[in-house]
Amino acid sequence: MKALLNKLLGINAKQANGSIRLAKGAQFSKHASVVLQNCSIQLGKEAVLVLHENVSLKNYNIHVHSGRLEIGAHTLLLGSANGGTALNIENGSLTIANHCVVKAEFSIRFGGQCSIGEYTGIMEGTEIRCDEWVSIGDFNMISYECFIYDTNTHCDYSIAERRKRTMTDFPNIGAEKEKPIAAPVNIGNDCWLGKRSVVLKGVQLGDNSTVAACAVLTKSVPAESLVYGNPAVHRAKTKE
């Protein structure tokens, strides 16, 4: 029976030590060359997952409740072996282009649209949260433990209202039923984000910019910038 189910789902021997759960109405399309290793995939009835040629997924926990996830050809998603890396789409879309190496966590809600351009690398510990719009261009290098948020992540309620919601939702503390304040984030092409740098809502980062380690971007910066500090400031790059 399991072999028959695998055949119907297009699962081959390369997909080891994982699970795939498809709700009725979910759409799952994968090229025959796709490799899944130690991945958990759950698709809701309004979910679409498209995996193109030579995609490789390892140690990822993917849950698309409502929306679309599309991963381009020759892209690698390499999660943590310690419990797996989370990629959650509650409602929205994530498109990862060809020839990327991605090790980040994703949270996409409230119809948010997130896209990552080709030949981009995103390292371990990085978190991308999208409630509206996050666009990351081509040939970017994003280091370890970076935060890219287009959202406040939580609404700012009164003490009484927050306490009321917390008691009602317990043990799910901090659940959000309403979209927090959000603003689009755009990271251009050929950028380099240093370790533990932070890009917050509304920021536009111009092409060929370098962001220093631990910098916190709260305002947009033009192309060819060197960005540093908390809150971040910038100056034009100089040729060494």
pTM over 0.85: yes
* Partners of residue 95 on adjacent β-strands: 70, 115
pLDDT digits (tens, 9 = 90+) for 30-53: 999 999 999 999 999 999 999 999
Per-residue confidence (pLDDT) for residue 189, from 0 to 100: 98
* pLDDT score recorded for residue 7: 45
Q: Using one digit for the tens of pLDDT, what is the confidence trace for 109-124?
A: 999 999 999 999 999 9
Question: In the predicted model, what is the mean pLDDT of residues 193-219?
Answer: 98
With 0-12 / 13-18 / 19 or more C-beta atoms within 10 angstroms meaning exposed / middle / buried, residue 175 is: exposed
Residue 225 tokens read as 């910038």
Partnered with residue 61 across adjacent β-strands are: 40, 86
154 in catalytic set: yes
Mean pLDDT along residues 69-89 = 95
Q: Which of 65, 74, 154, 234 does the annotation list as catalytic?
A: 154
Task: Indicate whether 142 belongs to any domain.
Answer: yes
Confidence check: pLDDT of 226 > 70:
yes
Indicate the number of domains in the chain.
1
- State the average pLDDT over residues 82-90: 93
Does residue 203 form part of some domain? yes
Share of the chain above pLDDT 70, in %: 92
Residue 100 lies in a domain: no
pLDDT of residue 16: 58
Residue 144 lies in a domain: yes
Q: Is residue 204 part of a domain?
A: yes
Q: Is residue 42 part of a domain?
A: no
For residue 11, pLDDT over 50 is answered with no
Residue 95 maps to a domain: no
Is 15's pLDDT higher than 90? no
**HEC-encoded secondary structure of 141-196:** EECCCCEEECECCCCCCCHHHHHHHHHHHCCCCCCCCCCCCECCEEECCCCEECCC
The mean pLDDT of 76-88, rounded to a whole number, is 93
pLDDT of 10 above 50:
no
Enclosing domain of residue 194: 129-155+176-240
Predicted confidence band of residue 4 (pLDDT cuts 50, 70, 90) = very low
Angle at 97 between CA 126 and CA 46, to 5 degrees: 85
- Check which CATH number belongs to the domain holding 202 and give it: 2.160.10.10
Q: Does the residue 97 lie in any domain?
A: no
